[in-house]
Structure 1
Amino acid sequence: MAESSIPSVWVREAGRPQGLSRERIVAAALELLDAEGLAALSMRSLGKRLDAGATSLYRHVANKDELVELVVDEVYAEVDVRDPSGRWREDAAEAAGSLRAMALRHPWVAGVLGQVGLSYLGPNLARASSRMTDLLTAAGFDAGEADRAMSAIVAFVVGTVTSESAWLAMVARSGKSERELVESLQEVQAHLNETPAAQEYDDPAVYRDDSFAFGLDLILDGLEARLQRKG
């Protein structure tokens, strides 16, 4: 006899609160993820954090994957995508910057979104994606092109933030500031400061910001060139 499948968390009603609620569980999971990362999250560890048994959690959330899906959607509420202003490049750049800022606040997110095959369909993510697609459609892309253009922008942001998050995790482990760590590495690896771009910056955080903006401009330049060929 085939096992019954668990319906999507987005179409299943939350369990009735019994000292807990889905909202409280998600908030606690987010705190744990931000503090300790994805590897530390389990129904058992979350139950300890909430002073509740795993059985109580399962009344509201079917499993860890479903919990992660809920938390991903929670942090996507922080992504700001403006209404089309008539300046699509500025609008898209602002949205990409907001996504990057969110992912840097929650470093575990990039690793989750970067996993092939995961599909998160929560309302906050769907709303951000829809609004981004609207920006690109208003710019002149058809629906299919707008969807692919959005995917290209998001892929760039996620890829960049994955590297940034790994670097910032190393900074945190070092116990030094970002600038101090760069300087200490330069003492043993002089080639780190050989590139003209690196020599222009005293603040590594500003260098990261400008590198992100440069890479995003390349993506937007390509999209703009495609629009011009259509026109």
Structure 2
Amino acid sequence: MAPARPGSPAWRHPWAIGLTDSRTAPGPATLRHHDAVLGCLRAAGFSVEMTAHAISLIDSYLYGFAVQERSLPFTTGEEAAQVADAILGEAEAYPHLAELATEHVLSGSYDYGEEFAYGLDLVLDALERRLER
């Protein structure tokens, strides 16, 4: 089982989540970033209202995944296996977690970081379908 990606932004810059949480007002770099994303969405054909929905959805997904990834109780494959073993030790109490651990996570090819790409594809596909309406 592959750990959460130590090379991912949440691992390379663990301080960033706390800094984001502590800001009460966006700085110029954040405003430039948001303006550029809004411009891309508008250029793609999103209405102003749909642009607001899209940026909120994308921003929430990115931030939420980073927070979730950073708070995982493991950083190495060995630590992940220990977490899975603890769940398997209580399989009767958590049958669905045990099933996920044995049939997917401990399969040897699972990489938690791939969940980000999968989810982002879903978000972007849904936005594309909405744009086509």
Give me the TM-score of the superposition, normalised by structure 1.
0.44
Q: CA deviation at 1:218?
A: 1.2
Matches within 5 A, 1:130-209: 130-167=35-72, 170-171=73-74, 178-190=76-88, 191=98, 193-196=101-104, 198-202=105-109, 207-209=111-113
8 Å CA contact 1:133, 1:146 repeated in 2: yes
Structure number with higher relative contact order (C-alpha < 8 Å, ≥ 6 residues apart): 2
Deviations 1:75-133 (A, max 9, x none): xxxxxxxxxxxxxxxxxxxxxxxxxx544422243355458xx6432111111111111
Q: C-alpha separation between the residues in 2 aligned to 1:161 and 1:123? A: 22
Q: C-alpha separation between the residues in 2 aligned to 1:119 and 1:144? A: 25
Match of 1:221 among 117, 122, 125: 125
Equivalence for 1:109: 16
8 Å CA contact 2:81, 2:106 repeated in 1: no
User: Partner of 1:189: helix, strand, or coil?
Assistant: helix
Q: C-alpha separation between the residues in 2 aligned to 1:103 and 1:120? A: 22
Task: Structure 2: give runs of 5+ residues left out of the alignment.
Answer: 1-7, 89-97
Q: Which has the larger radius of gyration?
A: 1
Task: Structure 1: give runs of 5+ residues left out of the alignment.
Answer: 1-100, 172-176
8 Å CA contact 1:140, 1:227 repeated in 2: yes
Q: C-alpha separation between the residues in 2 aligned to 1:195 and 1:145? A: 39
Deviations 1:23-56 (A, max 9, x none): xxxxxxxxxxxxxxxxxxxxxxxxxxxxxxxxxx
Give me the TM-score of the superposition, normalised by structure 2.
0.72
Identity %: 29
Change (3 A) 1:210 1:106: same
Amino acid at match of 2:112: R
Q: C-alpha separation between the residues in 1 aligned to 2:121 and 2:21? A: 22
Match of 1:128 among 33, 50, 54: 33
Q: C-alpha separation between the residues in 1 aligned to 2:56 and 2:66? A: 15
